[in-house]
């Protein structure tokens, strides 16, 4: 059986979509980046979009793998950040505003997936939230220097030469990417103090953490956007492969066999 890979998204006001009929502009949509589903399907998995109200433990019980995707900052209240967030700003109408509901749901998914030893891939914000869920902290804001992390480039993009990530020999990332790889970069925060059991697998020359892994587990996070690399990124093949290995049999799912 092809593994079911859950993909997180966000909730937005339909009126944010240009051309929406005025009759429906105050309704809401669940929004997902289609590139994740495209890459999961190309790697041999079945993508499943996860709305906030899909019970975390119940969903994880049925999935074979999980992708926690990118987006707005993790709310500073979750990790002790100093930034002030205006509580009157609704993240459903401002795509840059932190979303406590999204944070809570994705953190619950991560905890349930860890308890079930389910493969997890955290991407950008998801990479950071994985660290926070395990008790780590974030760098509140990166000052731009020789290496640009909040790139002005349009997706898809393979990144600028200066944004090269060096990977730790013997690590999973080194196995997937080799000693180093240039990757794209669209973020202004980063992993700070590491969460429980996490190790760093890759950094840029300025020390920004670009890849982490939970020790002895099929769990990793990357700071770049593999779904928006112009060249294929092997992390999706890895995720589908480990999810296939960990997937229950059809009989355990209650399905028929032949």
Q: Is there a catalytic annotation at residue 227? A: yes
Of the residues 75, 149, 163, 227, which is catalytic?
Answer: 227
Catalytic residue among 124, 127, 163, 187: 124
Residue whose structure tokens are 């990124």: 233
Cα–Cα distances (Å) from 252 to 54, 120, 158, in that order, read: 21, 21, 41
What CA–CA distance (Å, rounded) separates 65 from 239?
Answer: 7
- The catalytic position among 75, 149, 163, 225 is 225
Kindly compute the dihedral angle of the four CA atoms of residues 116, 122, 125, 131, in this order, to the nearest 10 degrees: 60
Q: How far is CA 52 from CA 28, 134, 161, 204, in A?
A: 12, 21, 37, 33
Q: How many CB atoms lie within 10 A of CB 126?
A: 25
Can you read off the two tokens belonging to residue 162? 């200066």
Cα–Cα distance, 66 to 127 (Å, whole number)? 12
> Is residue 140 annotated as a catalytic residue, yes or no?
no
Q: What is the DSSP letter of 193?
A: S
Tokens, residue 237: 């093949």
Place of tokens 């997936």: 113
CB atoms within 10 A of CB 25: 12
| Length reported for the chain | 258
Catalytic residue IDs: 124, 225, 227
């Amino acid at each position: 059986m092809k593994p079911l890979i859950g993909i997180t998204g966000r909730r937005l006001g339909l009126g944010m979509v240009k051309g929406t009929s005025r009759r429906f502009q105050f309704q809401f949509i669940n929004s997902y980046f289609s590139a994740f589903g495209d890459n999961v399907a190309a790697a041999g998995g079945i993508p499943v979009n996860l709305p906030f109200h899909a019970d975390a433990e119940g969903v994880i019980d049925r999935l074979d793998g999980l992708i926690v995707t990118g987006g707005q900052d993790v709310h500073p209240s979750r990790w002790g950040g100093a930034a002030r967030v205006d509580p009157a700003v609704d993240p459903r109408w401002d795509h840059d505003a932190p979303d406590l509901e999204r944070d809570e749901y994705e953190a619950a998914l991560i905890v349930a997936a860890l308890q079930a030893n389910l493969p997890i891939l955290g991407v950008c914000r998801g990479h950071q939230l994985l660290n926070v869920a395990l008790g780590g902290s974030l760098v509140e804001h990166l000052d731009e220097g020789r290496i640009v992390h909040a790139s002005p480039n349009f997706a898809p993009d393979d990144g600028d030469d200066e944004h090269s990530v060096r990977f730790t020999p013997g690590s999973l990332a080194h196995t997937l990417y080799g000693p180093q790889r240039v990757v794209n970069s669209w973020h202004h925060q980063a992993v700070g103090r590491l969460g429980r059991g996490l190790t760093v697998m890759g950094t840029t020359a300025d020390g920004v953490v670009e890849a982490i892994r939970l020790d002895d587990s099929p769990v990793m996070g990357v700071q770049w956007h593999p779904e928006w690399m112009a060249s294929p990124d092997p992390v999706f093949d890895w995720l589908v492969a480990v999810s296939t290995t960990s997937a229950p049999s059809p009989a355990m799912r209650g399905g028929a066999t032949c």
